[in-house]
Amino acid sequence: MANAGLAELERKLRELSHSDEAIREVERFSGNLAGTKERLATWNAAQAIVRRPIASGEAAALGFNDADDAFTLLQGDVVRTESAYFLGERVSGRSKYAVLNSTCDLVPGRSSYAALLRIVELRRDEERAKEKLGTLLKFTRRDSMYLPVLPDDDQDLIGNVIQFDGICQIRSGQLLLSNRLVSLSLVGWRIFASFARTVIGRANPREAELRQAIEEMEMRGGGDE
């Protein structure tokens, strides 16, 4: 890398981008809890991960909303809609999603489309339900984030799972008409953002090693022009 300023920038970014250290910290925290019972009590407590939807008026009263930047939805909000598409096909059946876009992109009139993450329901009677729940509560999977049972969920649910292995798309106007179920708490949003950053931008060490080797070869004059 010829530019010294860019080289310094790369060094600063090295420990910040493509790192899953934030998720590892969540994993360590949950691992230190005394088994599934304490993990359920911790993560299912009121406002632990989710909370009632944060209203635009509440934000305005605290000085966080103005006419040019008034939100209707927040990043990580859980919604129900039948207007989302996955792999080009419309999804039906009162499906739930977590909003992936940054909150500033969700301001009405700012973007034409939005990205959603599918939420899968974990039911009490399904095969290996307790084992799946135990794994989710440890936050050891990088493609799945645990959410507690939500206010309008069926009684046979024991949890929800945000899936990071596929992104749905929806028109922004349709998203604004969706049924907003919950917002994420502060720590819930930080966990969600850590998963999103790590899963979507994740890179193993060879990614950096490959690019560094290519740039060093080019600096020695051994690469293609």
Q: How confident is the model at residue 150 (pLDDT cuts 50, 70, 90)?
A: very high
Under the banding of pLDDT at 50, 70 and 90, the label for residue 128 is very high
- Which helix (H) or strand (E) covers residue 8, if one does? helix 4-14
**122: pLDDT strictly greater than 70:** yes
62 by Cβ neighbours in 10 Å (0-12 / 13-18 / 19+) ranks as: exposed
Given a contact cutoff of 8 angstroms between Cβ atoms, the answer to whether 7 and 1 are in contact is: yes
Q: How confident is the model at residue 130 (pLDDT cuts 50, 70, 90)?
A: very high
pLDDT at 21: 81
The domains located in the chain, with CATH, are: 16-216 (2.30.30.110)
User: H or E segment at 165?
Assistant: strand 157-171
CB 31 within 8 A of CB 42: no
Nearest alpha carbon to residue 72 among 36, 42, 111: 111
User: Considering the chain, what is the average pLDDT of its residues?
Assistant: 86
CB-based contacts of 133: which residues, under 8 Å, 6+ apart? 36, 122, 158, 159
Indicate the SS3 state at residue 206. Answer: helix
At 144, the pLDDT band (50, 70, 90 cuts) reads very high
- pTM across the whole model: 0.84
Lowest mean pLDDT among 3-7, 52-56, 169-173: 3-7
* Predicted confidence (pLDDT) at residue 111 exceeds the cutoff of 80: yes
